[in-house]
Structure 1
Amino acid sequence: MSEKIPEKMLGMKLPGGAKVQPVTCDVPKPGHGQVLLKMKAASLCGSDLKYIYFEHTDKTGGARYDDVIAGHEPSGQIVEVGEKVDDFKAGDRVVVYHIQGCGYCDECRKGFYINCQQAERRAYGWQRDGALAEYMVADAATCIHLPDFLTYEDGAMIACGFGTAYQGLLRAGVSGNDRVLVMGLGPVGQAAVILAKALGAQTIGVDISEERMEMARKAGADEVVLGDDNAVDNIMKLTGGKGVEAAIDCSGSSIGRHRCLEAARMWGNVVFLGEQGTVTFEPSPLLLHKNLTLHGSWVTSVGNMEKLVELLDRKKIHPGQIITHRFPLRETDKAFEVFATGRTGKVCINHEME
């Protein structure tokens, strides 16, 4: 593959205050162990929306996102490779794991770059230029080959949301023996429903949004319950009074988290995926006496993301099915405005719409 690469490109920055800033900048050059991607799809994440687009606050450490091109859910095609890149070549289609760590700490050696605590840790769209541009430089170590069956939009879904949901299901050991409660049916919750089904489980989705409840039905949820004061009672009725084997909180809300503990059956697993917020509960009746296992789960590893790509390819599942809105790169401002309503599925920047 040979493609003429321009000198300049369009990119999008998030200066805060619910604003998107278009910029014209140089097309980057791949260095040692890096590749240059022509971006094909890049989706928006709730963390982009909350911590950069609106608040412009640093909740995770090391923020530098006012100086970088935004976007940490990239999928694209390699157009140039740097020195010492052996596993990829121009023309390859890839999804990008959205963080590069130091490479030498315990967590990096496990492939959990997300958990790297060293100063070298850099996330695309946060501390280094990301996916909301025409081109992006990525470390080859964070790239995963995209099978022919999976589209670029599928790849963008995998880069963060589906990877996060998959890791949570792995933490709970979900299988065909289980009924899985998914609390909160935003994009990560939709992904959790789809993947729990792929692993053979029965699924119960809960939300307060009628739009998102309908999305979960279309995604294959076996049951969908309104997240009102009767939610736990209704879940218990659906499970013969025993509760669910696994409860995955994707809401990040205190009520959602508490209800997961309430609805989990004896010896069950509860996973907290949703970011931020708080929860207060009585450990004895809700955790100890039920012999529950409570897991925290944050994103996934490069290795598990590769396994997820293989699973989706084998099961012939398109993660892009949860996309409800698509915009070209130049309309990124409109994309964030729509995403901020809280009534969408995934919102995707499709670079091929330009």
Structure 2
Amino acid sequence: MKGLVFLGDRRTVIADFDDPTPGHGEVVVEIKASGMCGSDLHWYRAPHDPNVPVQARMIAGHEPAGIVAAVGPGVLAHVAKVGDRVMVHHYHGCTVCDHCRTGWPQLCEPVTRTTYSANAHGAHAPYMKVAAATLVPLHDDLSFEAGAAIACGTGTAWGALERAQMRGEETIVVLGQGPVGLSATLLASTRGARVIAVDLDENRLELARSFGADETINPRNADVTEALRDLTGGKGVSLVVETSGSPQAATSALKAIATWGRLCMVGVGGQVTVETKALLDRQVTVMTSYTMSTVGQKACADFVVSRGLDLDRLFTDRWTLDQAEEAYRHFDAQSGGKGVFVF
């Protein structure tokens, strides 16, 4: 089969790989939608290593949704059977440590975890072999594209709001309105919060308003700290969800957090320097959020279905695999919504 590989230096290639065959406890998923995630850009932009041949690289893509096409030995029928509509939680651990048992294989203590697209083949291909334990049911009311979003980007936003214990009466700031930030804006707004969206791109801010943002701020046109204080009558915001990975954005928001406020860091990359006393004086809580658990992934999907949310609106660009070079060049510009490969 054909699969998409990142070469680095903003280059991709469609390479030939053997068709996957499930081993014990494994299934093969026929991919119907494979989302493009902002974290893909770290691999896409990384320096090219000429010493690593194409066949030694992993197929990209860690937002899979599709149909179970084959089941290996040892997989019980209630876990997976041919024809099931599924999402994939893109981590798999030892299955027996405390973190794995509670649905957090990305925190696997023996560090035996598999991360699909990093050290095992991902979903930018027609088929993908995964551990059956990674499967999360995909509700009939959800499209495969929506399932792909929940498998990482939207699920990550859900995980951050849960980690931060967001309350419906709060004013929260979502820094960055890429796919994760837009999802956070949609979910927080649906859960009753007043949402202030921040981004450098006007197209993304327009999307944010359509997803429920009450206010928007473009740092090119306003000082974020001052704007946030103005919008809260000088009190500051109670919760900031940082999805952009920008140290400048996080620093600006920290200055505008209210007493007893919280900052939840989601974006990958960058370093944030804080003045401890300034946070102590306001009893500020700073935390991180690492995607979501398998339980959280299903809870997010259930919430989307129960509220009738249209996640398909996240996707401004749909691509076929042979358009991969153009797709990632477009996605690299970080303007607009989310991209997805459909099969």
**Shared fold by TM > 0.5?**
yes
Looking at structure 2, the residues matched to 107 and 56 of structure 1 have their Cα atoms a distance apart, in angstroms, of 33
Give the counterpart of 2:186 among 190, 194, 199: 194
Counterpart of 1:83?
73
CA distance 1:269–1:193, change in 2 (3 Å):
same
CA distance 1:154–1:288, change in 2 (3 Å):
same
CA distance 1:56–1:135, change in 2 (3 Å):
farther
Aligned-partner residue type, residue 319 of structure 1: L
Counterpart of 2:228?
235
Deviation at 1:57, TM superposition (A): 8.5
Looking at structure 2, the residues matched to 157 and 134 of structure 1 have their Cα atoms a distance apart, in angstroms, of 18
Looking at structure 2, the residues matched to 117 and 72 of structure 1 have their Cα atoms a distance apart, in angstroms, of 21
Alpha-carbon displacement from aligned partner over 1:30-78 (angstroms, at most 9, x marks no partner): 111211111100011122112x2111589xxxxx995221111111111
Looking at structure 1, the residues matched to 46 and 91 of structure 2 have their Cα atoms a distance apart, in angstroms, of 22
Looking at structure 2, the residues matched to 102 and 65 of structure 1 have their Cα atoms a distance apart, in angstroms, of 26
Alpha-carbon displacement from aligned partner over 1:97-152 (angstroms, at most 9, x marks no partner): 11111212232122111122435211111100110101111211111111111100
Counterpart of 2:38?
46
Counterpart of 2:272?
279
Kindly indicate whether the alpha-carbon contact (under 8 Å) linking 2:240 and 2:264 is maintained by their aligned counterparts in 1. Answer: yes
Give RMSD over aligned pairs: 1.8
Q: What secondary structure is seen at the aligned counterpart in 1 of 2:155?
A: helix
Give the counterpart of 2:46 among 40, 43, 55: 55
Kindly indicate whether the alpha-carbon contact (under 8 Å) linking 2:17 and 2:55 is maintained by their aligned counterparts in 1. Answer: no
Deviation at 1:207, TM superposition (A): 1.0
Looking at structure 2, the residues matched to 171 and 119 of structure 1 have their Cα atoms a distance apart, in angstroms, of 23
Structure 1 unmatched ranges of 5 or more: 1-8, 59-63
Give the counterpart of 1:322 among 314, 321, 341: 314
Looking at structure 1, the residues matched to 92 and 37 of structure 2 have their Cα atoms a distance apart, in angstroms, of 18
Quick check: 314-323 or 92-101, which moved more?
A: 314-323
Counterpart of 2:86?
94
| Pairing of 1:245-260 with structure 2 (within 5 A) | 245-260=238-253
Looking at structure 1, the residues matched to 286 and 100 of structure 2 have their Cα atoms a distance apart, in angstroms, of 24
Give the counterpart of 1:15 among 4, 7, 27: 7
* 1:298 equivalenced with 2:314 (yes/no): no
TM-score scaled by length of structure 2: 0.94
Deviation at 1:349, TM superposition (A): 0.7
Aligned-partner residue type, residue 243 of structure 1: G
CA distance 1:153–1:296, change in 2 (3 Å):
same
CA distance 1:197–1:57, change in 2 (3 Å):
farther
Kindly indicate whether the alpha-carbon contact (under 8 Å) linking 1:41 and 1:75 is maintained by their aligned counterparts in 2. Answer: yes
Counterpart of 2:112?
120
Aligned-partner residue type, residue 54 of structure 1: R
TM-score scaled by length of structure 1: 0.91
Looking at structure 1, the residues matched to 239 and 258 of structure 2 have their Cα atoms a distance apart, in angstroms, of 8
Looking at structure 2, the residues matched to 93 and 315 of structure 1 have their Cα atoms a distance apart, in angstroms, of 20
Kindly indicate whether the alpha-carbon contact (under 8 Å) linking 2:9 and 2:48 is maintained by their aligned counterparts in 1. Answer: no
* 1:261 equivalenced with 2:254 (yes/no): yes
Kindly indicate whether the alpha-carbon contact (under 8 Å) linking 1:101 and 1:114 is maintained by their aligned counterparts in 2. Answer: yes
Kindly indicate whether the alpha-carbon contact (under 8 Å) linking 1:180 and 1:202 is maintained by their aligned counterparts in 2. Answer: yes
Counterpart of 1:3?
none
Looking at structure 1, the residues matched to 186 and 265 of structure 2 have their Cα atoms a distance apart, in angstroms, of 18
Deviation at 1:198, TM superposition (A): 2.2
| Pairing of 1:48-197 with structure 2 (within 5 A) | 48-50=40-42, 52-56=43-47, 67-86=57-76, 87-197=79-189
Looking at structure 1, the residues matched to 245 and 341 of structure 2 have their Cα atoms a distance apart, in angstroms, of 25
Q: Percent identity?
A: 37
Aligned-partner residue type, residue 58 of structure 2: V
Structure 2 unmatched ranges of 5 or more: none
Give the counterpart of 2:336 among 339, 344, 347: 344
